Amino acid sequence: MKIINKAKIFIKKVVNEIETNRKLMEKLNHKLLCKMYYAFQDTENLYFVVEYFSGGDLRYLISRRNNFEEKETKFIISCIALIINYLHENNVIHRDIKPEKFIFGKDGYLHLTDLILAKECKKEETVISPSGTPGYMAPEAIINQPHNFCVDYFALGIILYELSKGERPYQGNNRKEIKDNMFKFEINLNKDDIPSDWDINVADLINGLLKRKKKYRLGTKGFDEVKNHPWFNDIQWEKIENCEFISPFKIEEGDHFDKEYAKKQDDDSIYEGNKQLYIDKINESLVYKNFYFNYEDKNKNNENKNNENEK
């Protein structure tokens, strides 16, 4: 169960983003997307009851591994690419694709956990609003220019680069440093830049996903551009999408829980002594009046619609 304090989201100005996340979690349904079962609230908090995955997130795995085998990397990237495609097919740009957003289930599959910064957008439209995490943001997004679906494929390229080379391509201590490095040079890997036992096609895939100009970026014309790349020639896309392929990851139970993090208490200093004031304001706004959700009710409604259609 995720518990989100109403005062905190009011201060951080992410009220609309939390509401969008709830609406999209209700609307979307995919095996590689974390399922929401219930959403409810009280005067102080919002609550999401979601599917539980016990394998730790991809960032945690990266922090514990010096390197990844090519078959492991290919599986990870395939899972992420499939969920990106599903979102795009439903006119949703995620805008914050990064390792922390993906959690392993006990079957070794990756699952996307939230859609906090996601935007619904028609294929021909663009979005102009701050979004994402600097190390994974596309050039057009990091300078607050109009951006579209291919920002998610740029982030996919960053993750692929990170898994194959052990670091992100654009380094920096803050957003400005990362942005400056991004515009100093464009990634152009060759066979000497990748592990010697890897397929050379991975360098071409990374270069294509990390094109600075979005019109040249792999994925701009859709998922098939990525799916049909030679590096994926041996990928069984349908089996992975249906979670029928045997994952190369064996997840050990009980090895992914940070007890120290769980002990952390909320920092009341951010409320400046006015926590109740913020809670009152957000409750008075009624922005979350339709926040409640019950997965069982959704299933019943779908069954009723199907019965009516059959009649």
Known catalytic residues? 96
Residue 43 contacts by C-beta under 8 Å, 6 or more apart in sequence? 6, 279, 283
Q: Give the HSE-up count for residue 302: Cα atoms under 13 Å, Cβ half-sphere.
A: 9
Residue 261: CB atoms within 10 Å: 7
Cα–Cα distance list, 280 to 8, 229, 250, 276 (Å): 12, 53, 47, 6
